[in-house]
Chain A
Amino acid sequence: MSLLIRGAAPLGGAPVDVLLDGGVIAAVGRNVDGADADVIDAAGLILLPGFVDLHTHLREPGREDAETVRTGSAAAALGGFTAVHAMANTTPVADTAEIVEQVAQLGERAGLVDVRPVGAVSRGLAGEQLAEIAGMARSAAAVRVFSDDGHCVHDARLMRRALEYVKPFDAVVAQHAQDPRLADEHACAHEGEVSGRLGLSGWPGVAESSIVARDVMLAAHTGSRLHVCHVSTAETVDILRWAKQRGIDVTAEVTPHHLLLTCDLLSGYDPVYKVNPPLRPGADVEALRAALADGTIDAVATDHAPHAPHDKDHAFGEAAFGMIGLETALGVVARTMVETGLLDWAGVADRMSVRPALIGRLPAHGRAIEAGEPANLTLVDPAGRHVVVPDSFASRSRNTPFAGLELPARVVSTFRRGKPSVLDGALVTAVPA
């Protein structure tokens, strides 16, 4: 079956017709003949390469009450994603070939997005001994991103060895940069005026930037690829800018929530705003937007972190960290980067698809919209202003900080391997909750 997308604007440019056939883009041009094709009227819509999330928590195996590979895949497809990287902090931890293959298979079975497992850097995320990185890299899941996300690889020797060890596989170490020695075990907020007033134990910004400073030097020393997860401070941005100027092979991501929300929201002690790294002051938010605009930060990554309600129904300091973000990512990026004039739609495609696909080594994603390229695509309505309604989410969880917020653009349809996973804002195949 072939599919003709009529009148869509690739990257926001001049409208064209795009014919999908056999999993690839068969033709691009004006008045493409799609005699037998199903036709999708895309007038007024923007066609982008399908989004690639470098940072997703799908919770399976272990916490299927919060999310499964299937429900998380559905949320991703509705958010315009065609590939997601499933973080390793599951139960059991994804630190062996068996677990990453299981997650990849669950993703294939769900069939909505490419689910790319992330392997743990250290066994059990304990930060002591390397996990079986080669085994995961050589497995059927062909892991290319390794991360102890949720924990910082804070031991310098282990970080050095990890950076060296991944080299034969062209893999990247994705660091959750946060020195645990610069905060106490109760840290749950940005250390500053708000945490001091509220009596919340804080992480200072320097807990992040000092690890990034060390790691870019280790990356330079080892000649390895380093990726910095969820950058949250202006100082980290400065270090990244310096490292990139020196030619150090470092990339970085920022979450939609760190592009929009500030630590002032903590005043009501609502754990929906509790996230790691924490929400920072407005000056950091401004620096992150500027860094994403100028490319110092390469990618938007959601850090989609589903939690069951009973893990959030606690005092702030005792509630779980994290917020969901797959189904709101595009809208938040449109609000913070497009509406503000910091990025055009080609820029959005670059930061949400092209660069994350390069970092994750996903050759079928983040490609140009040209004949012969794999048909992983997303249709966006740039005028699709809407209010966030959590109960409409496909995610099994509801811990979004954006409930009730108006966002300026929305995902209309998503195409994976030439077939629609989402049409007109709805999943093509019903996904059992």
Chain B
Amino acid sequence: MSLGRNLLSAADLSREDALGILDTAQQMHSIQTREVKKLPPLRGRTVVNLFFEDSTRTRSSFEIAGKWLSADVINVSAKGSSVSKGESLRDTALTVAAMGVDAMVVRHPASGAVQRIAGWVDCHLVNAGDGTHEHPTQALLDAYALRARIGDLTDRHVAIVGDIAHSRVARSNVLLLQTLGARVTLVAPPTLMPAGVGSWPAATSWDLDSVLSGKAHGDVHAVMMLRVQRERMAGGYFPTEREYATSYGLSPARLDLLAEDVPVLHPGPMNRGLEISSLAADSARSVVLDQVQAGVAVRMAVLYRLLAGADLPVLDGANA
């Protein structure tokens, strides 16, 4: 089994690919608890984090992942659209590629930007979030954190709640969870459901209570709350924070609708009091920090599998 040259979409991953990455991530995870965290496999390789959009957590996560694999990691911030700078995306991508990099990790505010770059450069590419399209490593780390908490995801039911229309996290999760055999229900007000969601491999609902209680689509085994941007109010997607929180926020009362072992996920950064209450965010169900920790391990696994290519590495020491 080998991953392709790039990771652009969660749809690129077969079940075997995804499970392979998650298994490798588990090995990587074990070194996070060591005193000396560095492994040698990407020594002499160069990874560029090319970020056209601000991101602290994703960029740091990829940076640490690369460094712990001994790659040389360089962060390039290209914030502001390439159009406004007068340079085409193609020129920016070719310029960075010409420096002899082995992999580019790209975050861009426009959907499909990383796929465009893939048509121009020869190095490996990882999509670190493109517009409102996809964020495949987020879906992988979510799956990792979920498996750690509830085991095999086959036939498990995951509710994803919030601004589905504008969420790259939701799109990647729907695709990956389907690949891993889980069932997904998307919950949002009609204004924040994507066009054509009826053709997605997921159920949909406008009523969070009926989903969490299991009345709508059966018992829920995990809940993923999405960040809601306050700008959406100006776009007329919902009237007030209070009304959104009342209808779609994970309040203490809604937490009580869930079985005790149901984990709560959030990709961060959280809007406490809007989509998630502090009680939910800080409860024992919350796996938010597990997700962050899993992020480094999963990104190590992705970089390793793309760049080193081999199935299972010389990671014997990692299992210690």
Contact = CB atoms under 8 A, between A and B. Distances in A.
B82 A314 contact: yes
Given A193-B199, A199-B132, A199-B134, A316 B235 contact: no
B108 A315 contact: yes
Contacts of A314: 82-83, 88-90, 110, 116
A315 B195 contact: no
A317 B88 contact: no
Interface string B22-39: 000000000000000000
Contacts of A268: 115
Given A269-B111, A315-B116, A316-B111, A195 B89 contact: no
Contacts of B73: none
Chain B: interface residue count, which band? 20 to 34
A317 B114 CA distance: 12
A191 B197 CA distance: 12
B112 A269 contact: yes
B195 A199 contact: no
Interface in A290-306: none
A320 to B, nearest CB: 9
B299 interface: no
Nearest to A314: B89
Interface in B121-151: 130-134
A151 B214 CA distance: 48
A30 to B, nearest CB: 57
- Of the candidates A198, A315, A317, the one having the most CB atoms from chain B within 10 angstroms of its own CB is A315
- Of the candidates A193, A196, A201, the one having the most CB atoms from chain B within 10 angstroms of its own CB is A196
Contacts of A313: 88-91
B131 A199 contact: yes
A150 interface: no
A268 B117 CA distance: 12
B92 to A, nearest CB: 10
Interface in B184-227: 194-197, 199-200
Interface string A179-211: 000001000000111111111111010000000
A145 to B, nearest CB: 31
A61 B142 CA distance: 54
A191 B83 contact: no
B199 A315 contact: no
Nearest to B235: A184
B81 interface: yes
B196 A315 contact: no
Nearest to A202: B195
A318 interface: yes
Nearest to B131: A199
B191 to A, nearest CB: 12
Contacts, number: 86
A310 interface: yes
B196 A193 contact: yes
B171 interface: yes
B116 A269 contact: yes
B203 to A, nearest CB: 16
A34 B90 CA distance: 58
Interface in A101-158: none
- Of the candidates B90, B108, B195, the one having the most CB atoms from chain A within 10 angstroms of its own CB is B195
B113 interface: yes
A198 B235 CA distance: 20
Given A197-B196, A200-B111, A269-B115, A318 B83 contact: yes
B89 A191 contact: no
B60 to A, nearest CB: 24
Given A199-B134, A199-B171, A313-B88, A318 B195 contact: no
A99 B110 CA distance: 36
Given A199-B131, A269-B116, A315 B197 contact: no
B168 interface: yes
B89 A316 contact: no
A318 B110 contact: yes
A194 B196 contact: yes
A273 to B, nearest CB: 11
Interface in A164-183: none
Contacts of A310: 88, 90-91
Contacts of A193: 195-196, 199
Given A197-B200, A318-B81, 17 more contacts: A191-B195, A198-B111, A199-B131, A199-B133, A199-B134, A199-B168, A199-B171, A200-B111, A310-B90, A310-B91, A313-B89, A315-B82, A315-B111, A316-B110, A316-B113, A317-B131, A318-B82
* 4 closest residue pairs by CB, A with B: A193-B196, A269-B112, A199-B133, A315-B110
29 contacts: A193-B196, A193-B199, A195-B195, A196-B165, A196-B194, A196-B196, A197-B196, A199-B112, A199-B130, A199-B131, A199-B134, A200-B111, A200-B131, A200-B132, A269-B111, A269-B113, A269-B116, A270-B116, A310-B88, A310-B91, A313-B88, A314-B110, A315-B108, A315-B111, A315-B113, A316-B112, A316-B116, A317-B110, A317-B131
